Each structure stands twice: as C-alpha cells, then as structure tokens.
Structure 1
C-alpha cells in the first residue's frame, strides 16, 4: 500500500515538471516572436523610415505582459520546493540561463524604448529652441547606443541605424547652436590686413545679444546662456571659446594694452543687447600705466561676465565658460601686459624702486578681480611674479639700457674731443660714509693703521699734487661720457641688493670688455687711415686704463658681498686696454714709416747727384719726408701727451735719417759735386727736423724739446757727423776721429769712416796717411 502511494506522488511530481517545462518552452517561443516583431518594427521606423507608432505601442503592451509573466514564473521557480535536489539543480540551471537571456532581451528592448522617447523629446526641444534640454536628451540617446554596443547579441544593422541617427542629430544640433551663436555674438572688425596703427582698431565692435525663449509662463533663461550650456554638454564649448578668445585678444585686449590712446566704451541698444566698441582719446603718454591698462581690461571682461557668463550657474562639463575663456587668453594677455606695460613701468633709478609697491598692489587687485569673475583659478601667476620681482627686472633693464647707451657711445664719432689737464677730474658720485663695522672690516682686510706712538719722520718728501695724474692730452668726448656712465652705474649698485649690485657691477665690466671688441672693429678703417684718430684712440685707451686702476677700490667698501670681499676690481682689464691703445698707435706708426720709406725710395739711392734729374728726385723725396713729419706734427699737436708725441716724432725722423745714412754709406764713389748735394740734403733735414718737435701750441715752450732732439732721435748725432764729413777735408776728418776718441768715433766704426774717405777722396798719399790714422 505504501509503495503505491509513493508511485502516485512521484508520477504527480513528474507531471508538474513536464508541465513547467512546456510552459517555459512556450514562453521562450513567445519571447522570440516578440523580439522578432520588435526588431522588425524598429527597422521599419529607424532604417526604412515607416511610421508605425500604433504597432510600437502594442508591442510595448506585449512586452509588459511578457515581463509580468516572467516575473510570475520567476517567483514560482524561486518558491518551488524540490524534493529531489540533485536532479533539479541541472534542470533549473538550464531554465535560469534561458531566463537570463530573456531578461537581457527585455533590457535591450527597454533601451530601445528609452532611445525612442529621448529622440522625441530632443526634436520637440529643438523646435522650441530649448537647446539645453535638446543637448541633454541627445546625450541620453548616446547612452542608449553605448549600452546596445555593449550587448554582443544586438544585430549590427539595427545598431548602425541607431548610431547613424544619433550622429546626424548631433551634427544638426551643433549646426543650430553655431547659427544661434552667430546671431547673438556679432563682431564688426576692420578690413585692414595690417594692424600696425591705432586707427586700424577704431572700427572694432562687439555686439552681445542675450535673446529670450518662449516658455510655459515662467521666466526663461537667456538664449545665449542656453546656447553656451548646450555647447558645453556637447563638448564644443572649448573650441568655441578658443575662437572667440583669439578674436578678443587680437582686436580688443592687446590693442588696449599696446595703445594708451585707445579706451573701451560700453553701450546699450534697446532690445538688442550690449555693444562694446573701441574709441580714441588724446594722450601724450607713449605707454599706458599699469593702472590704466588694468582698468581698460577689467571693463571688457566685466561686460563679458555680465552678458555671457554670469547667467550660467551650472554646466554639464566640469569647468565654467568663463574659466575656459580665461585659460585660453590668460597666458598671451599677461605676456602682452608684461612686454608692453610692466616692462616700461620699471623705474630707471634705484631711488624710485620704493614707489613701485603701488604697481604691485594694483596687479594683485587686478588678479583678485579676475578670480572673483571666475576667469582665473590659480593663486600664483607669471604676471604677479614679474611685478613682485622688480629688483631683478630693474637690474636687467638698467643693465640693458647701460649696454645700449655704451654701444651708442662706442659707435659715435671719435674726433669730437675734450682736453684733459692735471686738474681735470671725473665727477665721482657722493658715496655714503662707512659705518663702524665696515670701517673695521676694511682695516682688518687692508693695511694696519699707524700706531699712535709711531715716530713722525722729519723733512719727509711729499709727492707732488700732479703725481699719478694723466698728462695733458685730448680724448674723445664719447669716452669721457662712457666713463661717467660706468661711474653712474656703479653708484646705482651702492645700496642695492646683493643680486642687483652684482648684476650692475658685471655689466660695467661687460661695457669695458665690449669696448675692446666694438671700437677696434667698428672704427678699423678710420684708425688705419687717419693718424689723428689713431692718436685719440690711443689716448682713450690709456684714459680708461688709468681709471680702471682705482675704480674698483673706490666702490668696493660700499658694495655688498661678495663684491666687498675683493671681487670688485677692474685691474685685470688694464693690460688689455694698454695693449689695445699701443697696438693701434704702433700700427699707425708702421704705416707712416712705410710711407716715409716709400718716398725715400724715389731718391734713386742718392747716387750720381751731379745729374740734375737725380738731384731733383732726391731733393723732392727729402722735402716730402719733411712735409709728412710737419703734417703729422700738426695733427698730433695738442692731442698726444708731450712725451708720447716726442717719442713718436723722434721714431719717425730717426727712420728717415737712418735710411739716408744707410743709402749714403753704401755709395762707393762720391764726387765733390755729389758731396755738396748730399750735404745740402742732409742740412735740410738738420735744419727742418727740429721744427717738427712742436708738441705744444705755445712756440716758446717747444724750444726745450727741440734742444733734446738727440734723446728722441737715436741717429741724430750720427746724421750730423755724416753731414760734416761730406763737407770736410782729410785733416778735419782725422781730427774729429782723434785716434778713436773724437765725436766721429762715437758715431761710426773705423771701417765705416774708411769707406767714406775712400768714396769722397781720390787714392793719394794723403788719403793713405789719413786712412792709416783711422784705426
């Protein structure tokens, strides 16, 4: 009996399982049919473009019914009590997989339904110009398409149709937004291709129309704000703000910074919105002050904030439109402010640096206002850092101005001169008195002060008041101004910060090093061509070298460390300047000597002067040499120091007479007539030579230097002895030889005198006797 009941119950459970499997099978078939109908309907609507709204609603009703059946069946399966668990696990796993598949199909169908609803809302909002709503609905369709792409079972053709429809509508929305932007933001720009004058910006205007929308009775937001929000949602706001910022910078902000006569005017047109235009106002200033520039820029940016960005509270994107625009224009705008405004506002003197705090405060307030208007988000900018770092910029500007001024002086004319005298002194700036600490440090680093009990020497020789002074000469006016510029720059370094003082000090060093490179190169042809300029350049170099010896010592105690520890010196530059002046003047001297020797070469070796033509050529060569020396004497008179003048003229004259000496000594036969002519030529040199030693304009004072001719002309006495020999007889020659102790023996060797005797006199017994005495 018990076994019978067991069989009945078992068969009953089996029947229930069979019935449940049958129902699931029928439900799966029904789901597949519904899916096919839905896909077919979607294809007809979005691919084949056949209107079928009623069919879609019926299908959605069927979807809802199927969903209810699935939920009921799912609940039944989950609540079913299975007697045989081992057998049921396998069967229910298969059923659950089938159910998950059906659930996925339902999810896809719901995505399609959401896509359809969002697309309908998008079209409706676009027609009503609710661009923010339209952009958000279009983003929903994008999400639906992306979710469908994630389902591998979605049919490719259907997905292509939906994706293509979304792309088309997105481009349509962007086109409408761009069209609205052009109507709301209107630029009126000049037709000039080259924007190089203030007049080319006077026609610049910006019309900003906010626009309104028709709504449901509530106050609608501005159309411009709606357009900007929609652009942000669609990811097009950055591109639009970039284009707008480029035009704003080029035609409004940069001109306002560059031209002080431009100012901005904001007007209001009834029903049209705001009009921003550039106007011209008269001003004498070459550069606008930072305060004026900040005021003009804020006037523009405040109008933009009020008319464009202030109405937008939240965007779909993370950044606001004003922040995006600020990031687009800030770097270029701040760079223009620095180059065209702040750079020229830096003081030219260290005494004015304290007043620059006003500019720093104005820059801080300018950036604070930009942060309040949400154009700036960072706390530290290059603009504010530039304004605060005024000491460094002052030094850089000062150094640049000094280099430019120095180069202009170096390339100016050399021949404009001033006369130096022992009383001439450069106007040294008034340096502050040394404090006790500085004085102690100076004494510790220098010589020990004399003891109080040190004995005082009596009859001690005192140095003259002109000791270590430059001799009387002429230097270029530009070089004197260059030295004054160096002194003024070093005085600026006194009392400055360590960095500023170091920069200024080494700028002065660079000026002197630049002199060594620029002047010889720039004036190279003139220095070789004109003796007058070569002499002035020589004096210029010696003048600079003279002051460089003590220039560092004068300022060192007043400069900050490390300059005060011994780095402030110019002594190492002294040899370079002395060498520069000496080489230039020696090159001119060599050129004059070469010219002199070339003229003497036309004298035909001073031979056969009994021929009128030969004598005329020799006489002409001598006269040309004398003329050259006199011309140089006039050129160098009152320019070169007396000792340099005498040495130079003595060297040139010595070259001439040494050449004549060698030519005459080479003659093997000198007739009586030739001797007379040679003596005449030599006497011309002897008479005219001392007259070139006129270094001073006062004639009476030049006699001293004419009497000292043998000191400056080494061959002068030799030349005079040669002139005497040319007119002397044998006995006179022997007497002046005086057994090797006479004046003739001091200038000539015995062989030279014998050769002269053999050339001047015929071979006779008297000549032989005379030659025997010359030994």
Structure 2
C-alpha cells in the first residue's frame, strides 16, 4: 500500500515539471506574436493608409483633367472631323469629275482617230478606236448616281460611227466577194445553176501604189466589230446553196477555175454525158477542189478571236498574259494594232486566240454539208448486194482522205469524223438500206392488183432461188441427226414410199404479186446467209416484218374489193394459204446456212402460219356469208312456195329458183380454176346446201298442199336436182368435172333430204309408209316423224287411210 502511494507522488511531480516547461514555451510564443503585431504590422498598415489617401487625391485630379478634356478638346475634335469629311467628299467629287472628263476625252479622241483612220481606209485602227470609245462610254454609263445628258448624244454618235464603219466594211466585203447568181434565186434547175459564179477579188494588186486596203485588214476589222460571223454565215449559206450542194446533187456539174490578174472566178460547166449518180470519190474531189481554191484565196487568213482583245477595249476582259511577246504582230504603240500589219500572214505560227477563216466557216456549214454528203452521196453508194461490200472499201479510203484534206486546210477540227464514221459503219447501213428497199418493194407488191394471177400446181416449177448446199459442218450436223433415228426407219420399201406430191399445195391460182413477194423473201434470206451476223439477223427480221406487214396492209388496202368481188376473196384465200405453206419450211431451209444465232432454232416462221391461214379463211368465210345472204334473199321472194296453183306465185317461185341457180353458176365460173378443187367443191356444196335447206324448210312448213301445188313444187325441185350439180365445175375440162358433179351428195348435206322431199310430193300414202319403214327407211334418215306427219297432213285429206298412215309414222 505504502509503495503504491510513493509511485503516485513521483508521477505527479514528474508531470508537474513537464507542465512548467510547456508553459514557459507558450509564454515565449505569445511574446513573439505581440512583437510582430505591434512592432511590424501596425507601421506598415499606417503607410498603406497613407498611400490610399494619395491615390484618392490623384483620382480626384484625373477626374478634373477628364472633365477639362471633355469640355475643351472634344469640341475642337468635332470641328476637325467635320472639316475632314467635307474635304474627303470634295476630293471624291473632284476625282469622279476628273475620271469622267478623262473618259470623255478618251471617247472624243477615239472618235476623232476613228474618223481619221476611216478616211485613210485603215479599217483595223478605226475599228479599234470604236471599241475603245465604246469601252469609255460603257464605263461612263456604269457609274451610278452620276448621269450626264451628254451620254445619250455620245451613244448616238457612237452608233452612227459604228454603222458608218460597218457600211464601209460591207462595201469592201462586197468588192472582195462577188456573187453572180441566176435570175431566179429559188430555181434549182441545172440550167439555172450553171449561171452561178463566185468572183474573189482577194488577189494582191499589181500596182503597189493603189490605195486598196489589204484583205486581212478588212477581215480583221469585221472581226473586231463582231460582224465577221454574220458575213461568213451569209457567205457559207450561199456557198452551200449555189456551189457545194449542186456539186453533190448534180453529177453533170463540174467546177471550172479561172484566174485573172485581179480576180479569181469559180463557175460551173455541165457535162452532157453524165451518170445519174456521182460516186463519192468524184464528189469528194469536186468539193475538195472548191475548198482548196477558197483556202488559197480567202480562208487561209488568221484572225484574232473577238474575245482575244485587250481589256481596255472590252470591259470585263483582263489583259491576257503573253500579249507583250507578240510584238512582231501587235506593236506596243498606240494604237495597239497597226493598220498596216493587222493579221498574221499565212504560214506563220498560230498563237493562242487566233483562228483561220476556214475554221470559222467550217463551224458554220460543216454540219449541214456533212448531212448533205451523207444523204445525197454516201447513202446512194451503199451497195445493195453483199457481194459488193468489199468494193466499198474504196469509198471508205476516199472519205478518210477527204476528211484529212479538210483538216489540213483547218476547215475541220481534228476530232471531227462524222463522214468517216458513217462510211465505216457500212454493214449497218447496208442492212438498213437493204431492209428499206425490201420493205418498199414488198409494200408495192401488196398494194398491186390481186386479180393478176398465176397457176400453181404440185408439178409446176416456181421461180425460187436455188439454195446452196450446206457446208461441211452442216453435213456433219445432218448426219448426226440421221444417226439418232431408230434402226429400220431409214430404209423404206418402194411399196411404202410417199407420193412426190405429198404435203404439196394443191393446184390453184395465186396473185402474181404474192408469188413475187415470196420470191423476194427467199432472195432476201439468201442474201442474209452471205452477210455478217448483225446484217443477217436484221435481214431475217426484215423478212418477218414483210409477212407481218402483209397481214395488216392487204386486208385494209383491198377491203372493199375483197368484200364485193368473190373471185378476189378466193384469190386472197389462196394467197394466204400459199404464203403459210412456204412459211412452214422457210426457216428450216436456211437454218444451216445462217449465223449461229439463227441456226440454233430462232430462224423460224412457223408461228406466223396460223395467222395467215386464219386471215385467208376469215376473208373467204365472210364472202361465203355474203353469198348465203344473197341466196336466202332471193328465195325470200318465192312467197314461201305456197299456193302454187296461183300462176303469179308459181312464177315468183320459179324466178327465185332460177336466180339462185344463176348465182351459183356465176360463182362456179369465177371460182373455176381459182380455188383448189376440194375447197371449190366444199364452198359450192355449202351454198347449194343453203338453198336446198331453205326450200325444204319452207315446203315442210306448209299446212295445205293441193295436188296441183304438189306437182308444181315437184317441178321446181326437179329443176334444182337437174341443174344443181351442173354448178360444180372446178376445172376447165368439162369431162373432168363430171366426176365432181356425180359426187354432189358428198358435198351437199341436204341433197338426199331434198330428194326424199320430192318423193313425198309425188308419192301416195302407202309409198310414204314404205319409205319410212318403221323408222328404218331412207325417209327416216332425212326427216323426223313430226316433219313427215306434217307433210302427210298438208298433202292428204283427213281420211281413215291418212289416219292409219299417220299411226305408222312414229
């Protein structure tokens, strides 16, 4: 216990000593802080407060100075600015007036120098001064807010001077180029064209002192004024109308050149013995000769392009670089272009911005000239036969030489090849021309008369081209096809051979024009086999177009005749069948002789066959309907074959029967030797059947037939039976027609019905019953029980015998 108390005291004493030390340290720090605050901070704070007081004093002084400046200096500054602004405006007005006066002076000087130069015939200088005056006037007019009344007068003066200048240049142009045209400018006859002459007064004068302006000066002055384009355009049109186009269109014309001391003359001479068409080589030589003459005497000159001028003459154009290096041509004196040397002479190197008259003229007339050469020269030279295509290479070479010559004379640009492209595309043009000629020839045949016919038969030789044998490659193909056939089918016994006339078109008459049309198709396809692939396909399509055109043109063009004339309808029917017959094998005949495109099976016309057969059948059936209508109309005047005991009724019926037979005989004559025999017999049989069926219907419908009526009806029917077969005359040989007259029941469906009716008209009740034979006799095959009963009631009185007979008819 005592020990624990001792240790506590020791600890308290030790802690108390440590607290004394810390207290002493804290007291030192407090002293240090008090010294810093009151010995160092307070004096510095006092000095800062003094500085603040000084600054506030300076600020007050500044405010006083600022107020003085604003009150005194600003007033003087406003006065100075106002004076400066006024002086500036005055300077601008003076500068503007000075520039206007300068431009007016330039305008006046330019007008005076223009007048002086014009009197001395220095046209280039005069034109340049006019351009400078125009530039000055344009500058004056462009100044906004500054308008002078004198500007209108200056504009009028400039216009007067310009027109005066243009007038003088026009006179000089007319002196240089003189046209002597025929009296009637609209006349294009050969006699009038021979009178056309072109006189070029562009030769240098022999008298050195002659006051004649050089050609170059006139041309350059026109270019400066912008009038050269219109002059060249008029010259080009006259050149085309009276020289170039006549040389292309009239083979007998030949250019004649004549050079005199001061003039060069170009005129025409007409050759008496001239071809209908000139070859392209001859035309090119003539045109080239004309251009060579024009180039030598006129078109060789180089002129400065209208846009290639100094900017001071045309507002908006800058002075081009390199103009100073052209001092050899443009002297660096006023005026910039000397009137004595206005142009580069031919042969000097061309500079940028200069063109020849030939190039300018070419741009104006080449398009029209090339079209004329193509349509009036090259088109006519395209061969109409593929065998002549090789000879056309001469035309291509001549065209190329012609274009090179024109390019050498700078009449054409280097990239212009319109003529050569057309000439080189000869295959396409040949095909187009061939197709056009074929279509025109085909249409001419389609619109020709149908009634001009030719007889065709299986053993007749039709004038078609002989096809060449297929090549070796084709023979291999044929042999390959043959090997695919089953064994045994290749050897057919003689007893099983088909007739040589199998699948042949029967004998009939067709139009000569249709025969020629088919020949044209064969020749065109034969031409296609010898042509290039592209041409072959085009010609094949052309042949298809021919036949498609036939289906549209012929029925429309000949509609009225086909409707009114039975013979033409029959011929048209044969024409369509004839064409369809050839179309079946037309493509196959040329399959192995055409290009790979067509030989693959595309070369076929089979798809057109149904259309042609339908076309022929519809036309002929329409004519058959017309004839049937006429037959029924004639029989309608027979007064229903009733009351034949009346003489008037009998005469009417007799007349109707004879009219029908007359109509049938007339048809038999117009269709004789025209229609195929089987078609003829079917057609005549159908018409005769119509008449017989109508007579049977009318008689069967009678309710009362007296004995006299029956006799007269029988006599009328006998006329039909006796004379009806006589209308079957398909052949010219009467003896051969007997066969078809005996086969009338084959073609007339109601023939036996009609004969049974005649039997009924003359038979008694028992005979009618016997003919019926309980529904198994010949009468039962032609009439129904109701019809027979009706006839019995009409022919016989109501008796027990009639009743018994009627009872047996069932």
Q: Is the 8 A contact 1:211 1:222 kept in 2?
A: no
Tell me which residue corresponds to 2:224.
233
Q: Which residue of 1 aligns with 2:623?
A: 588
Question: Partners of 2:648 and 2:631 in 1: how far apart?
Answer: 21
- Deviation string 1:412-434 (CA, Å, 9 cap, x unpaired) is 11111111111235444444544
Q: Is 1:688 aligned to 2:723, yes or no?
A: yes
Aligned partner (choices 409, 412, 416) of residue 448 of structure 2: 412
Q: Distance in 2 between matches of 1:142 and 1:630?
A: 98
2:298 to 302, 308, 317: 308
Please tell me whether residue 276 in structure 1 is matched to residue 312 in structure 2.
no
C-alpha deviation, 1:244, in angstroms = 1.2
Task: Answer whether contact 2:580 2:608 (CA < 8 A) is retained.
Answer: yes
The 1:221–1:326 alpha-carbon spacing in structure 2 relative to 1, beyond 3 Å, is farther
Structure 1 residue matching 2:389: 3-state secondary structure: helix
Name the structure 2 match of 1:640.
675
Which of 431, 438, 454 is equivalent to 1:402? 438
Note if contact 2:223-2:304 (Cα within 8 Å) is conserved in structure 1.
Answer: no
Displacement after TM superposition at 1:132 (Å) = 2.5
Does the 8 Å contact 1:208/1:274 carry over to 2? yes
Greater alpha carbon shift after TM alignment, 124-133 vs 657-666: 124-133
Once the two structures are overlaid, the 10-residue window that deviates more, 329-338 or 753-762, is 753-762
Determine if contact 1:615/1:677 at 8 Å carries over to the other structure: yes
Which residue of structure 2 lines up, in the alignment, with residue 599 of structure 1? 634
C-alpha distance 428-478 of structure 1, shift in aligned 2 (>3 A): closer
- Could you say if the C-alpha distance between residues 343 and 613 of structure 1 is closer, same or farther in structure 2, counting changes exceeding 3 Å? same
| Offset at residue 97 of structure 1 (A) | 13
Aligned residue number for residue 765 of structure 2: 730
| Counterpart for residue 189 of structure 2 | 197
**Is the deviation greater in 471-480 or in 172-181?**
172-181
Unaligned runs of 5+ in 2: 1-85, 309-352
Cα distance in structure 1, aligned partners of 2:276 and 2:400 = 24
Equivalence for 1:292: 282
Q: Which moved more, 1:449-458 or 1:239-248?
A: 449-458
Query: How far is 1:641 from its partner?
Result: 0.6
Structure 1 stretch 668-677 or stretch 694-703: which is displaced more? 694-703
Aligned to 1:576: 611
Distance in 2 between residues matched to 1:134 and 1:382, nearest whole Å: 41
Contact 1:417 1:474 in 2 (8 A): yes
CA deviations on 1:196-232 (whole Å, 9 max, x unpaired) are 42222222122211266899x7999963222111111
SS in 2 for 1:562: helix
Worse-matched range after superposition: 276-285 or 336-345: 276-285
Corresponding position: 1:339 with 2:375: yes
User: How far apart, in 1, do the equivalents of 2:211 and 2:548 lie?
Assistant: 73
| Candidates 410, 427, 434, aligned match of 1:391 | 427
Whether the aligned pair in 1 keeps the contact of 2:726 and 2:741 (CA below 8 Å) is yes
Aligned residues: 682
Match of 1:721 among 750, 756, 760: 756
Indicate the SS of the match to 2:268: strand
What is the distance in 2 between the residues matched to 1:729 and 1:124? 136
The superposition leaves residues 284-330 of structure 1 with CA deviations (integer Å, 9 ceiling, x where unpaired) of 42222212222222222222212212254766653222111111111
Asked if the contact 2:300/2:356 (under 8 Å) is kept, the reply is no
Query: Hey, what's the Cα distance between the residues in 2 that align with 1:440 and 1:104?
Result: 100
CA distance in 2, matches of 1:763, 1:150: 127
Distance 1:681 1:157, change over 3 A: closer
Q: Deviations over 1:507-560 (max 9, x none)?
A: 111111111111111111111211111111100000001111111111122222
Structure 2 CA distance for aligned equivalents of residues 650 and 769 of structure 1: 38
| C-alpha displacement of 1:593 | 0.9
Counting only pairs closer than 5 Å after superposition, residues 512-531 of structure 1 correspond to structure 2 as 512-531=547-566
Superposition CA RMSD, Å: 3.3
CA distance in 1 between counterparts of 2:663 and 2:602 reads 48
Which SS does the other structure have where 1:413 is aligned? coil
* Residue of 473, 476, 485 corresponding to 2:508: 473
Q: Deviations over 1:78-119 (max 9, x none)?
A: xxxxxxxxxxxxxxxx99999999999999888777767655
Look up the SS of the partner of 1:206 in the other structure: strand
SS at match of 2:265: strand
Counterpart contact for 2:180–2:198, Cα < 8 Å: yes
Structure 2 Cα separation of the partners of residues 718 and 365 of structure 1 = 88
Partner of 1:754: 789
Distance of 1:431 and 1:701 partners within structure 2? 37
How far off is 1:604 after superposition? 1.1
Aligned to 1:631: 666
Q: CA deviation at 1:352?
A: 0.7
Q: C-alpha separation between the residues in 2 aligned to 1:598 and 1:764?
A: 38
Could you say which residue in structure 2 is the equivalent of 1:210? 202
Would the alpha carbon gap of residues 162 and 530 (structure 1) be closer, same or farther in structure 2, given more than 3 Å must change?
closer
Partners in 2 of 1:211 and 1:127 — Cα distance?
23
1:134 maps to which of 117, 126, 139: 126
CA contact (8 A) 2:703 2:794 kept: yes
The alpha-carbon distance between structure 1 residues 657 and 115, as it changes in their structure 2 partners (threshold 3 A), is: closer
After superposition, the Cα gap between the structure-2 partners of 1:330 and 1:442, relative to the gap in structure 1 and judged at 3 Å, is farther
Distance 1:594 1:399, change over 3 A: same
- CA gap 1:583/1:198 in 2 versus in 1, 3 angstroms: same
Moved more, 169-178 or 754-763: 169-178
**Partner Cα separation in structure 2 for residue 151 and residue 615 of structure 1:** 115
Does the 8 A contact of 1:442 with 1:557 survive in 2?
A: no
Largest Rg, 1 or 2:
2
Which residue of 223, 246, 250 corresponds with 1:255? 246
Between the aligned partners of 2:303 and 2:226, the Cα distance in structure 1 is: 17
Alignment CA distance shift 1:462-1:220 (3 Å):
farther
**Are the structure 2 counterparts of residues 706 and 733 from structure 1 closer, same or farther at C-alpha, using a change threshold of 3 Å?**
same
Distance apart, 1:165 and its partner CA: 5.4
The alpha-carbon deviation at position 234 of structure 1 amounts to 2.1
SS in 1 for 2:501: coil
SS in 2 for 1:566: helix
Q: Give the direction of change, closer, same or farther, for the CA distance of 1:442–1:757 in structure 2 (3 Å limit).
A: same
Q: Is the 8 A contact 1:212 1:222 kept in 2?
A: no
Higher mean C-alpha deviation, range 300-309 or range 334-343: 300-309
What secondary structure sits across from 2:730 in the alignment? Answer: coil
User: In the TM superposition, what is the alpha-carbon distance from 1:501 to its structure 2 partner?
Assistant: 1.5
Q: For 2:597 and 2:269, how far apart are their aligned partners in 1?
A: 53
1:451 to 1:758, Cα distance in 2 relative to 1, 3 A:
closer
| CA–CA distance in structure 2, aligned partners of residues 521 and 110 of structure 1 | 84
Q: What pairs up with 1:49-60 in 2 under 5 angstroms?
A: none
Secondary structure, aligned partner of 1:278: strand
Partner of 1:322: 358
- Within a 5 Å distance, the mapping from 1:654-673 to structure 2 comes to 654-673=689-708
SS of the residue 2:186 aligns to: coil
TM-score by length of 1: 0.81
Cα pair 2:124 2:217 within 8 Å, conserved: yes
Equivalent residues in 2 for 1:467-616, closer than 5 Å:
467-616=502-651
Task: Summarize deviations over 1:446-469 as a string: whole Å, max 9, x none.
Answer: 786337899967687322211110
Structure-2 change in CA distance of 1:196 and 1:176 (3 Å): closer
Instruction: Report the counterpart of residue 745 of structure 1 in structure 2.
Output: 780
CA distance in 2, matches of 1:341, 1:704: 65
Residue 457 (structure 2) pairs with residue 421 (structure 1)? yes
- State the partner residue of 1:60: none
Work out the CA distance in 2 between the residues paired with 1:229 and 1:264.
Answer: 30
Distance 1:456 1:447 in 2: 12
CA, structure 1 residues 101+594, in 2 after alignment: closer, same or farther (shift >3 Å)? Answer: closer
